[in-house]
Amino acid sequence: MRRLQDVGLLLLVLVAGVLTALTFTSVTGPAPDRGPTDPSSEGGPTGPVGLVADLSAVTSGAPGDTTGGTADDAAATGAGRPPDLDAVRDVLADGAPVVVAALGDSTGNETWEWVYEWGRALASDRPVEVVSWNEWTEDGYIDPVELGSGQDGGTVTLYAGHQSGAGAAYPAGRLEALVPEEPDLVILNYGHNDTVDSVRSGTADTLEALRQRFGGGLPVVVTLQQPQADDANAEVRAALADLAAAEGLPTIDVAAAFEATGDPAALLVDTVHPDEDGAALWARTVDGTLTGP
């Protein structure tokens, strides 16, 4: 009797186990055979790979995405780049009042040199006010000189910020005095008092100071100065041209204008400085470059 009870209990346990297994299978079902994952299938991969793909779409600046864009994308659109020569010409052509800061050395500090000569050319169409840097105190400007005051149109205020012996770094340490109001255009006219190294580093320092104070969109034009005797400044001029190209800055190629005469040395008053004919050619080159033919 005892044996029959044990056998019955064993059968009961076996039946319970079978029922449990059948119940589990019906709930979960067998795992489907999906085959290998195909990343090219509709919907793409999921999990971390899919997340990386989504992030790359954001940072690539895809069409219609206003939150993405890489540094390369910004550079490609010209964001923050200085204006080109046509934009510089527009500054002087629209007839509105204009402030120009012409910063340089002793090739532009006299009333017969290129800054004043260019001011006289501009004054044929509109009022011009030329303000000369005080070379004795080096802390500001002397009283302005009015040219073409009877003309119509917006006044061109032309700061002749030229200092004898100054190199390319000169404005960086005294920018507040040299450029006392926000300019619409800056002309950098340095090189004769520089070496290859100093014209690079000095121009870079001056550009940084200008951008820190007035923003990266400030129009800046670089002058390639005329050849000295025996073209002693050729390497400095080439270094400055390379830097301007790297910075995206337009240039005023005064050197090419002198060379085009066939005898640039004939336009010098000494081994470095242009004479009055050279200054007049310089002014014509500036005017032709910045206002067009």
CA dihedral 248, 235, 223, 74 (to 10 degrees): 10
Tell me which residue range forms the domain holding 238: 85-291
CA dihedral 284, 289, 290, 293 (to 10 degrees): 80
51 belongs to a structural domain: no
Q: Tell me: the pLDDT tens digits for 237-264? A: 999 999 999 999 999 999 999 999 999 9
Amino acid identity, position 275:
D
178 belongs to a structural domain: yes
pLDDT > 70 in the chain, percent: 71
- Tell me the β-bridge partners of 264: none
4 belongs to a structural domain: no
Half-sphere exposure of 172 (CA within 13 A, CB side): 15
256 belongs to a structural domain: yes
With H, G, I as helix, E, B as strand and everything else as coil, classify residue 147: strand
76 belongs to a structural domain: no
Cβ–Cβ < 8 Å for 241, 234: no
How many independent structural domains does the chain possess?
Answer: 1
77 belongs to a structural domain: no
Amino acid identity, position 261:
T
Taking the C-alpha atoms of residue 141 and residue 102, their distance in angstroms, rounded to an integer, is: 13
pLDDT tens across the length of the chain (293 residues): 444 444 344 444 444 444 444 443 433 343 333 333 333 333 333 333 222 222 222 222 333 333 333 333 333 333 344 458 988 999 999 889 999 999 999 999 999 999 999 999 999 999 999 999 999 999 999 999 999 988 899 999 999 999 999 999 999 999 999 999 999 999 999 999 999 999 999 999 999 999 999 999 999 999 999 999 999 999 999 999 999 999 999 999 999 999 999 999 999 999 999 999 999 999 999 999 999 86
With H, G, I as helix, E, B as strand and everything else as coil, classify residue 83: coil
Cβ–Cβ < 8 Å for 137, 79: no
Output the domain CATH number for residue 286.
Answer: 3.40.50.1110
Task: State how far Cα 148 lies from the chain centre.
Answer: 34
110 belongs to a structural domain: yes
6 belongs to a structural domain: no
Radius of gyration for the alpha carbons in the chain, expressed in angstroms and rounded: 37
